[in-house]
Amino acid sequence: MLSLPLDAARFAEKVWGHWGIENQLHWVLDVGFREDQCRVMQDNAAANLAVIRHIAVNLIKQEKSTKAGTRTKRMRAGWDDQYLHKIFAQSAQQKPKV
């Protein structure tokens, strides 16, 4: 039960908005990080890797100097240590949102 009365159109808008964000994140994880191909299942390893991937997505999305997709930025960070350090350094410089 909802705490606010919503008509069908407004309810649909909210649901689509939620799933749009959800699907966008999963698409990025699947395409950029090939998450669906990961076969790690032992103990908590799958959940731990998922957390690491989410952190990586957030760090990569914050990097704005390169106009490239998530997958390209991830691959570049794997090949170019200076670019990887740049991603980490810029996240350390940002002030936390309170």
Task: Tell me whether residue 3 is in a domain.
Answer: no
Helix 45-62 to helix 70-79 angle (10° resolution) is 100
Instruction: Using a pLDDT cut of 90, give the percent of the chain over it.
Output: 14
Is 1 a member of any domain?
no
The answer to the question of residue 86 being in a domain is yes
Domain count, the chain: 1
Q: How confident is the model at residue 96 (pLDDT cuts 50, 70, 90)?
A: low
| Residue 27 within any structural domain of the chain | yes
Determine, yes or no, domain membership for 57.
yes
| 37 or 63: which leads in pLDDT | 63
Res 1 pLDDT > 60? no
- Residue 2 placed within a domain: no
Q: Tell me if 98 is assigned to some domain.
A: no
- Compute the Cα dihedral for 46, 50, 56, 61 and give only its sign: positive
Q: Is the pLDDT of residue 82 over 70?
A: yes
Residue 20 to residues 12, 26, 49, 69, 93, Cα–Cα distance (Å): 12, 10, 23, 18, 30
Rounded average pLDDT over 5-31:
72
Whether 35 is in a domain gets the answer: yes
Query: 19 lies in which domain range?
Result: 8-93
**Statement: residue 3 has pLDDT above 60:** yes
Mean pLDDT of 3-29: 71
